[in-house]
């Protein structure tokens, strides 16, 4: 009996840890564009869907394994974090639209910046876009220190849940 328990214990220890074990998002700030001042979101209910440890490159939810070709396989992921992964990598939005730096802090270390993205909202189409910083961009080292998705340096469609939170806040603070 003992010989069966030991290998089972080792196997359990090697299983991936769910994304929620890394912590919850405890603060998001939005700055840049033509905002008069940075916007800070700290309400736990508002923050709950926007966990940086979800989507490609994580071991939680619908991402039990890393894809063989992350750029091609990103569409298998459901919307999470602030990205609608199911839309895949997209072309950059118009450079004339304002860019906002969105910063995320997590409960595992609330004083340390955990993730940074660029957000663009097009009011004419009511669609948002997310850029994950690439290797030569500010924020890349911060991001890959938390989650290495293997698709950094690309634009994605923003998750509609994020658009519903961010775009009214931005409009109210212009």
pTM of the model: 0.81
Q: What pLDDT shows up at residue 114?
A: 96
CB 151 within 8 A of CB 12: no
- Per-residue pLDDT tens over the stretch 66-121: 445 666 667 778 889 999 999 999 999 999 999 999 999 999 889 999 999 999 99
Percent of the chain's residues with pLDDT above 70? 79
Q: What pLDDT shows up at residue 102?
A: 98
Q: Which of 127, 129, 134 is nearest to 119 (CA)?
A: 129
Measured in whole angstroms, how far is the alpha carbon of residue 129 from the centre of its chain? 12
Distance CA 74, CA 70 (A): 6
Task: Give the domain ranges of the chain.
Answer: 18-172
**Structure-token match 């001042």, residue found:** 37
19: pLDDT strictly greater than 60: no
The CATH class for the domain spanning 18-172 reads mainly beta
CB 53 within 8 A of CB 25: no
The stretch 53-70 carries a mean pLDDT of 63
Distance from the first to the final alpha carbon of the chain? 67
Q: What pLDDT shows up at residue 122?
A: 96
Nearest 10 degrees: CA dihedral of 67, 68, 71, 76?
A: -40
Those residues whose C-beta lies under 8 Å from the C-beta of residue 115, and which sit 6 or more positions away, are: 52, 103, 104, 106, 142, 143, 146, 147
């Amino acid at each position: 009996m003992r010989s069966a328990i030991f290998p089972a214990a080792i196997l359990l220890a090697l299983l991936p840890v769910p994304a929620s074990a890394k912590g919850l998002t405890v603060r998001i700030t939005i700055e840049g564009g033509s905002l008069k001042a940075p916007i800070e979101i700290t309400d736990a209910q508002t923050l709950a869907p926007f966990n940086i440890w979800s989507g490609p490159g994580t071991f939680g939810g619908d991402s039990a394994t890393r894809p063989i070709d992350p750029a091609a396989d990103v569409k298998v992921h459901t919307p999470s974090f602030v990205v609608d992964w199911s839309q895949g990598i997209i072309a950059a939005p118009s450079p004339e639209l304002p860019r906002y730096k969105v910063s995320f802090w997590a409960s595992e270390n609330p004083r340390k910046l955990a993730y940074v993205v660029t957000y663009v909202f097009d009011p004419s189409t009511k669609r948002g876009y997310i850029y994950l910083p690439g290797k030569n961009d500010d924020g890349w080292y911060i991001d890959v220190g938390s989650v290495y998705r293997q698709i950094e340096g690309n634009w994605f469609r923003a998750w509609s849940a994020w658009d519903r939170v961010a775009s009214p806040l931005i409009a109210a603070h212009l």
